[in-house]
Amino acid sequence: MRAFIAIELPEEIKRHLAKLEEQLKETGADVKWVHPENIHLTLKFLGEIDEEKAQTITGIMEAVTKENPAFTINISSLGAFPKIEYPRVIWVGVDKGDKEAKEIAHNLEERIEKLGIPKEERLFQSHITLGRVRSPANRGGLVQKLRELTAAVTEKSMEFPVAGITLFKSTLQPTGPVYEALKTASLKAT
């Protein structure tokens, strides 16, 4: 199965982000948008794993969450990788909760590497992907809209509690991926 570990977002936050996507879609840019129900914060992409490895990974998740307390995330920025002028991945970033998410991602990365799943080459950055740019069509309009909406995202409080991390199975369909939560490990109560 194709799998990843992520922080689930509350429905209210997904609705806010879906509205943001709708405003960005108005540019007509060639972007593969993440379906609102699939929006999440990825901590570790695992790739193809079998049932046995999934069991071991859930054990690692439980160990990591026992060491890390529940925390709060605040979505505070809108941007693009590699940079806003040349967007490839459109995302929202976090300020509050960034340190905690990085710590959990690092702990998972270190322990999961021992299972033969390689570490990410890029440094982990707490972000929530909204879309991936497929071509330069209407890029100018997209860049302009990203800049316009940055202030709106910064001013709006999109804060939510994080009580656990979830192992997801991803099934690729012609209409896009379908995610199924397999196991959630609860963070330490504060």
40 catalytic per annotation: yes
Q: At what angle do helices 51-67 and 98-113 cross, to 10 degrees?
A: 140
106 tagged catalytic: no
Bridge partners, 40 (sequence order) = 8
Q: Give the contacts of 9 (CB within 8 A, at least 6 positions apart).
A: 17, 39, 40, 41, 128, 160
8-state DSSP, 120: P
How buried is 122 (Cβ within 10 angstroms: 0-12 exposed, 13-18 middle, 19+ buried)?
exposed
Rounded to whole angstroms, the Cα distance separating 101 from 121 reads 18
3-state secondary structure string across 122-185 = CCCCCEEEEEEECCCCCHHHHHHHHHHHHHHHHHCCEEEEECEEEEEEEEEECCEEEEEEEEEE
Distance between CA 176 and CA 186 in Å, rounded? 29
Please identify every residue annotated as catalytic.
40, 127
